[in-house]
Amino acid sequence: MPIRTSKRSLLARALDVTGCGRMLRVAAPWEGVLILNYHRIGNKNNSLLDRNLWSATDEDFDAQMGMIAKNFQVVGLDDLELVLHSRSGRFVMVTFDDGYLDNYTNAYPILKAHGVPATFFITTGFLDVPKIPWWDEIAWIVRTSPLEALDVNPWTTTPVPFDEPHREGAINRLLTVYKRLPGTETEAYVNFLAESLKTGRSPAQIAKKLWMTWDMIREMKQNGMSFGGHTVNHPVLANLPADQQDEEIRECRRRLIEELGEPIEAFSYPVGGPKSFNADTRTSLIRHGFKWGFTYLGGYCHYGQEDRLAMQRTAIETDVDLPIFRALTTLPQVFS
């Protein structure tokens, strides 16, 4: 089981100070594939959007990629079948979700500089018609609201006070409500927040510089990066009926094939937790030719025990500094 953040930080630093971490990396105390999951790279300070989506600053990401390139065999999506079949060795794989512009402007040059391949799971609708995703819009609504709390209402049942100055607790609570809603109710919920918190919906121009373009993705593909699906509109798939799930998965794959001209066999589940996909989701992936489904469940893939449609990934977030990152990759059975 993962250890608590404060204890994790102390233990990670102890591994660095004592030199035990360096010895463990040489001793190779685990075997399998550790799949790292990122979202955004850059400086989250002062953003009105969801700051939890930033995985690392440019400097931290550069240090992380340098560390894994030096200490591990880093593999891409095309290597995964062979690696799992070999059932021997320690491998690290780098993935990104959503398709934010900073994946191209910030992460991609660093990946190239270290010779690290990465796989990017794309929400195709955000590239085709740029819009603000629901998590960023909810964060924007809360941060820009002139109010100090959300009053009692049918959605949250109790008031939601805004914890100043950044209101992160309130944002996280309202995002949790969204993730549990049936797909038929999510738009009404965002409209309710926009009206009740007196902000209106977020300005459309925010989305214009939020996402990569297809030309950027084609350039990245030519330079060793891989791509997979992440739906069209980023719903929580398990909250949709089977036919709507199928449409999100089918159309996402169709657009990727249309733009990239190659088979698309990998998919990551939006949100990615145990309740974000179900048997209908798996059935749809198989129907449309996907071989891999990637989660957000943490841990690493053990040889002979992996579920090809529920591959474990470990989240890299801004609380993961370099000592914790070194510890996480050295002892993922403890830190991931």
Mean pLDDT by 10 residues, the chain (336 residues): 63 74 68 97 96 97 97 95 90 98 98 98 98 98 98 95 97 98 98 98 95 98 98 98 98 98 97 97 98 95 91 93 92 83
Same domain, 26 and 140: no
What is the reported pLDDT for 1?
40
Same domain, 269 and 293: yes
Residue at token pair 């918190």: 197
* Exposure string over 32-45, b if 16+ CB within 10 A, otherwise e: bbbbbbbbbbbebe
Same domain, 85 and 180: no
283: Cβ–Cβ under 8 A, 6 or more apart, which residues?
A: 242
Element (H, E) at 90: strand 90-98
First to last CA, the chain: 8
Give residue 335's identity as a one-letter amino acid code.
F
Strand partners, 294: 268, 311
Quote the CA–CA distance of 250 and 244 in Å, as a whole number: 10
Same domain, 325 and 183: no
284 closest CA partner among 236, 239, 251: 251
Same domain, 269 and 316: yes
Same domain, 246 and 104: yes
| SS3 (DSSP) at 315 | strand
Same domain, 251 and 114: yes
Same domain, 223 and 96: yes
Query: Does the CA dihedral 200-204-207-209 come out positive or negative?
Result: negative
- Number of domains the chain contains: 2
Same domain, 118 and 187: no
Q: Using the 3D structure, point to which of 169, 187, 204 is the last residue of a domain.
A: 204
64 closest CA partner among 30, 38, 26: 38
> In angstroms, what is the C-alpha Rg of the chain?
20
Same domain, 101 and 13: yes
Q: List Cβ<8 Å contacts ≥24 apart for 7-11.
A: 8/324, 8/327, 8/335, 9/321, 9/323, 9/324, 11/327, 11/334, 11/335
Q: List Cβ<8 Å contacts ≥24 apart for 46-49.
A: 48/139, 48/140, 48/143, 48/144, 49/132, 49/136, 49/139, 49/140, 49/206
Same domain, 291 and 191: no
121 closest CA partner among 50, 183, 179, 38: 38
Find out whether 32 and 304 touch, Cβ atoms under 8 Å.
no
Quote the CA–CA distance of 265 and 267 in Å, as a whole number: 7
Q: Using the 3D structure, point to which of 153, 177, 204 is the last residue of a domain.
A: 204
Q: Using the 3D structure, point to which of 204, 227, 261 is the last residue of a domain.
A: 204
Tell me the pTM.
0.94
What is the reported pLDDT for 11?
75
Q: Which tokens go with 204?
A: 């459309």
**Domain that includes residue 295, residue range:** 5-130+210-335
Same domain, 263 and 300: yes
Assign residue 316 the CATH number of its domain. Answer: 3.20.20.370
What is the reported pLDDT for 70?
94
What is the reported pLDDT for 215?
98
Q: Which tokens go with 156?
A: 């949250």
Residue 258, Cβ neighbours under 10 Å: how many? 10
